Amino acid sequence: MDISKLDLERDKVYIIHQVLSYGTLSDIGWLLAAYGPKVVCEVFLRYPQKVYTKSGFAFTKNAVLDLRSADIGEDRYVQAFY
């Protein structure tokens, strides 16, 4: 996607999942500053997308969003690689 055409509000779900899945720690820092941890967490939980690796999902859920105790269906987020 052409990032120059992204709108921070309109494309919020897409941006949040793409940065959480593919971004660097610096990118994730920007994401949390731009949207706030509460919004990022809400979007992650409310609009799951299958764009994560198993380890990326675990890192995002546990380290970035501090959702260790939440029972979140990994199958709603993790892409199957064969």
| Percentage of residues in the chain having pLDDT higher than 70 | 98
Instruction: Work out how many domains the chain is built from and give that number.
Output: 1
Mean pLDDT of the chain: 94
Enclosing H/E stretch for 29: helix 25-35
Q: Which of 9, 15, 24 is nearest to 64 (CA)?
A: 24
Residue 81 domain-assigned (yes or no): no
Please say whether the beta carbons of 61 and 17 come within 8 A: no
Q: What is the pLDDT confidence band of residue 81, given thresholds at 50, 70 and 90?
A: low
Residue 31 burial by CB count (10 A; 0-12/13-18/19+): exposed, middle or buried?
buried
- What pLDDT, on a 0 to 100 scale, did the predictor assign at position 3? 81
Residue 62 domain-assigned (yes or no): yes
Model confidence over 19-63: pLDDT tens digits? 999 999 999 999 999 999 999 999 999 999 999 999 999 999 999
Q: What is the domain extent for residue 39? A: 10-76
- What pLDDT, on a 0 to 100 scale, did the predictor assign at position 82? 58
Residue 53 domain-assigned (yes or no): yes
Coil, helix or strand at residue 78: strand
